[in-house]
Amino acid sequence: MTDIVEIHRKEYGIASSADDKIIVGEAPGCLHYLGDHGQLNDALYLSSAIDRTVKVAASLRKDNSLRFFSADTGERKRTTLANLRYKREDRWANYIKIALYLFAEAGCKVSGINVTIFSDIPRHLALASPQATEVASALAFRRFFLPNLGDRELMARISAAHTDFYETENRIIELLCVMNAKKNHFLAINEGKLEVERIKNPFGKYKIMLFDSRVPPIDVESELRLRRKDIEKGFEILSKKRQGFSFKDYTVADLDDLMGSLNEEVRRRCLFVVQEIARIREAEKAIAENDGETFARILFHSHEGLRDMYEVSCPETDWLVKRAQETAGIIGSRLTGKGFGGCTYAFIREDVAGEYQKKFEDYERIFGFHPVSYEIQPAPAARVLPQ
């Protein structure tokens, strides 16, 4: 395990005998098994934290300088408190600056600070690495600047600071996951009500494997905006027909009643959202009853919805899920994240993991990419590490 405190001392010339207080915040990444691509800020999710984390070590300076060091990449960034704002070239350091910014906005007397960061969360796979960085940084800084600030208020301030920095609406779902996780538990999250229910993972004999399709990343935001607009349009029409506060208040039958009012593309997008809500509720019951067969069916059906109705999958990720569906000893697989490439996951019995991965040779021959796999487990929530 990386000793981030020793790395921090060496980077900033702090002797082990010095009185400089070093606080280390740690936050996990998170994985959404179901629910991503739901209604903005009012979706249901089945998620968990993962046992890949961001660690942030921090110590105060005697000036107003801000020094940032990434131990896993060797990069260094620096600025001052007077320039505490978003800069494109600062990339990962912007997430640390967001955590400082929220305390400055709260009226705290923020001083200069030295920061060291280390992450083993795979990048570009929508595993909440930015949010984990923000949370780990904020937990460390809270000890210095506002120790009585509660977790719920901290989450709200992180979300607001992120919105100020990037000038885009920020979902709180990943923060809810990172801050409320529990080891070996799934999280049933109601984003609109900020509610999290922990459900013990009954599938302990199965590995949870992530598979990076290695499809070259593209800018998917324009496509996702179109789909969100379709959802908004469909909800507006639905709510005029029968009052409701979110898609959670409607059924497939309600959509069928509006066949003449919705164009086919809007109807398919909305149908996916309504069906996904039903799948999450069914999945919660399947997990509680240790019903792996039903759980697998739900995950495969969800992927089919992402492929056929929401249309964010691609041939490469479809292939990975289909091969999982054909392999005995796998209880479910699905695309996760933004889509158009990216990552799939599968619950794989240990004795068949090798059999599934042998199929990667065919994948590479067909598509020209070699997928990279990661084993993960549901992990505990963000915390400050004991010294």
Per residue in 297-335, pLDDT tens? 999 999 999 999 999 999 999 999 999 999 999 999 999
Position 239 scores a pLDDT of 87
Residues 118 and 228 in one domain: no
Residues 185 and 217 in one domain: no
Residues 141 and 61 in one domain: yes
Integer Cα distance of 83 and 65 in angstroms: 10
Write the CATH number for 249.
3.30.70.890
Residues 331 and 215 in one domain: yes
Residue 386, in any domain of the structure: no
Query: Does the pLDDT of residue 1 top 60, yes or no?
Result: no
Query: Does the pLDDT of residue 292 top 90, yes or no?
Result: yes
Please state the length of the chain.
387
The chain-wide mean pLDDT, for the chain, equals: 93
The residue among 200, 234, 260 that closes a domain is 200
Residue 158, in any domain of the structure: yes
* Surface-to-core class of residue 254, CB atoms within 10 Å of its CB (0-12 exposed, 13-18 middle, 19+ buried): middle
pTM: 0.94
Residue 381, in any domain of the structure: no
Percent of the chain with pLDDT over 70: 99
Position 167 scores a pLDDT of 82
- Average the pLDDT over 264-290 and give the result: 95
Position 259 scores a pLDDT of 63
- Average the pLDDT over 203-231 and give the result: 92
Position 46 scores a pLDDT of 98
Residue 383, in any domain of the structure: no
Band of residue 2 on the pLDDT scale cut at 50, 70, 90: low
User: How many domains does the chain fold into?
Assistant: 2
- Average the pLDDT over 44-65 and give the result: 96
Residues 223 and 188 in one domain: no
- Give residue 329's domain range: 206-376
Residue 387, in any domain of the structure: no
Per residue in 175-193, pLDDT tens? 999 999 999 999 999 999 9
Pairing assessment for the beta strands 330-336 and 383-384 based on DSSP bridges: unpaired
- Average the pLDDT over 346-370 and give the result: 92
Residues 242 and 338 in one domain: yes
Q: Is 101 left (phi over 0), alpha (psi -120 to 50) or beta?
A: alpha
Integer Cα distance of 298 and 305 in angstroms: 11
* Surface-to-core class of residue 225, CB atoms within 10 Å of its CB (0-12 exposed, 13-18 middle, 19+ buried): exposed
Looking at per-residue pLDDT, the higher value among 361 and 15 belongs to: 361
Residues 335 and 311 in one domain: yes
Residues 148 and 26 in one domain: yes
Residues 230 and 99 in one domain: no
Query: Does the pLDDT of residue 353 top 60, yes or no?
Result: yes
Residues 189 and 215 in one domain: no
Opening angle at CA 228, ends 94 and 277, nearest 5: 105
The residue among 154, 170, 200 that closes a domain is 200
From 37-41, 96-100, 291-295, 333-337, the region with the lowest mean pLDDT? 37-41
Query: Does the pLDDT of residue 145 top 70, yes or no?
Result: yes
- Average the pLDDT over 257-282 and give the result: 89
Looking at per-residue pLDDT, the higher value among 154 and 261 belongs to: 154
Write the CATH number for 186.
3.30.230.10
87 backbone dihedrals φ, ψ, rounded to 5°:
-135, 125
75 backbone dihedrals φ, ψ, rounded to 5°:
-85, 150
Residue 382, in any domain of the structure: no
- For residue 15, what are the contacts with CB-CB under 8 A and spacing of at least 6? 9
Position 78 scores a pLDDT of 94
Opening angle at CA 159, ends 84 and 120, nearest 5: 80
Residues 187 and 253 in one domain: no
Residue 84, in any domain of the structure: yes
Integer Cα distance of 362 and 196 in angstroms: 41
218 backbone dihedrals φ, ψ, rounded to 5°:
-130, 165
Residues 152 and 245 in one domain: no
Integer Cα distance of 382 and 241 in angstroms: 43
The residue among 155, 170, 200 that closes a domain is 200
Residue 261, in any domain of the structure: yes
